[in-house]
Amino acid sequence: MMTESRNNLKFSSDLGLEMYQLIEQLYPICRSITGNGVRQTLKIIQQLLPFLNIQEVSSGTPVFDWTVPREWNIRDAYVKNAQGERIIDFQKSNLHVLSYSLPVKAKITLGALKYHIFKIHDHPDWIPYRTSYYNERWGFCLSHNQLQELADEEYEVCIDSSLSNGSLTYGEYFLQGESQDEVLFSCHVCHPSLCNDNLSGIALVTFLAKHLSVLSRKYSYRFLFIPGTIGSITWLSENQTQIFKIKHGLVLAGLGAPGKYTYKKSRQGDTEIDRAMIHVLKHFGQDHEILEFFPYGYDERQYCSPAFNLPIGCLMRPMHGRYAEYHTSGDNLDFVHPQYLAESFSTCFATLQILENNKTFVNQNPHCEPQLGRRGLYNTIGDKELAMLWVLNLSDGHHSLLSIAERSGLPFAQVQSAAEILSKHGLLKEL
């Protein structure tokens, strides 16, 4: 029943460090929506989650309105100047290559090269991250400063990539619980060397899975490591008959950097996961913002499409597009910190504890208050007594513990603890 760390939601800094180390290990890999980068990533995760199931779905497989694309792989890429020096070098940063770039090998003028170059103005030292999955082209991304330095001469461009039939790869990890009802965690694994978006999400999902694997669980848990958009579409398409089991879910994306938590509610907007997450954010006292669902962002777009409308929200810190480092080389190993990873873990875990423990009880002495004093329950500290009174008063079969926590303003753990004491004394029974 996941009670082990209930009263200690601040996990040790060791855990933050372990997540950070996984990020360090995954950082150099060039991931995209398909290809060996994803496979290599999942293999590393498998060292922590040995039963991680690595799935391959062939290119060309129809998945709802989409088709699994050809597989993209890249070995090397560079731009050499007239002196033969690699002035743009994929080996230094895989962000330098437009993701899904077609192979190219050519001599080209600066003017022609510029048509294939992406940059950002605001941070002249940062390389932007750009993709072109469904529009066949090639390109290089570089910093504004790098671009300024390019002399007007002939360049040799080389992208040693391949785009050909293969498969889309994703990871799935399942933990059976007492119930068939499932909690889904989903993170995207398609971004190359970008730490917050989304190596942080990958690390969190990995360690939540690892942590939950050794606890007893009311719910079954499913953890998806998927390429963004096409990955969730593929998974939903392949698992249509099982989707009804998902009772709660979270997309985790960007949770290792400083800034405000943003929780984006599910499309339904008032589901238990929404309420549990909002409760946790409120009571942890950390700066946060709650947003109504909107149909762009991460894979919640697909999970919350009208035919599924799943109770799945999205937690971010900070929110995509709201930090300068977003989708640039600034989102590197300096941008994420073990401390924030640990805090995000605690936030997620506390939310799970609400889901796991959110029972509804019935007061067995509903006529007036029971005499707590003769049971030795009255002279306890004020807050405990208060929680007991709330639980007794609202345990009429219509209020779950989360409802009681919401109405009383008390933290869930305190309400849960009161319910356990009262149950022990025969004053409550689970509905």
Binding site for a second copy (CB under 8 A): 64-66, 134-135, 229, 232-233, 236-237, 240, 267, 292, 294-296, 301-302, 304-309, 363, 365-371, 373-374, 379, 386, 389-390, 392-396, 407-408
Sign of dihedral through CA atoms 421, 427, 430, 431?
negative
| Residue closer to a second copy, measured from CB, 204 or 428 | 428
What's the CA angle centered on 38, arms 34 and 43, to 5 degrees? 145
Looking at the Cβ atoms of 11 and 66, the one nearer to a second copy is 66
Considering beta carbons, is residue 88 or 388 the nearer one to a second copy?
A: 388
**Token pair recorded at residue 240:** 């249509």
Alpha-carbon 265 to chain mean position: 14
Of the candidates 347, 346, 341, 251, the residue with the CA atom closest to the CA atom of residue 24 = 341
If the CB atoms of residues 124 and 366 are measured against a second copy, the closer one turns out to be 366
Least CB distance to a second copy at residue 226 (A): 13
* Nearest-approach distance from CB 210 to a second copy, in angstroms: 29
Neighbours of 231 (CB within 10 A): 29
CB of 418 to a second copy, least distance (A): 12
Q: How far is the CB of 279 from a second copy (least distance, A)?
A: 17
- Beta-bridged to residue 5, according to DSSP, are none
Which residues lie below 8 Å from residue 143, measured CB to CB, with a gap of 6+? 119, 120, 123, 124, 125, 126, 127, 329
Please state, in angstroms and rounded to a whole number, the distance separating the CA atoms of residues 340 and 358: 27
In the complex with a second copy, which residue's Cβ is closer, 18 or 300?
300
Q: Which amino acid is present at 115?
A: Y
**d(C-alpha 320, C-alpha 326), whole Å:** 7
Q: Which residue lies nearer to a second copy by CB, 407 or 429?
A: 407
CB of 140 to a second copy, least distance (A): 20
Query: What is the Cα–Cα distance from 309 to 298, expressed in whole angstroms?
Result: 15
Shortest distance, CB of residue 62 to a second copy, whole angstroms? Answer: 11
Tokens of 36: 């060996």
Q: CB of 398: closest distance to a second copy in angstroms?
A: 9
Helix, strand or coil, per DSSP, at residue 263: strand
> Which H helix or E strand runs over 235?
helix 230-238
| CB nearer to a second copy: pick between 286 and 365 | 365
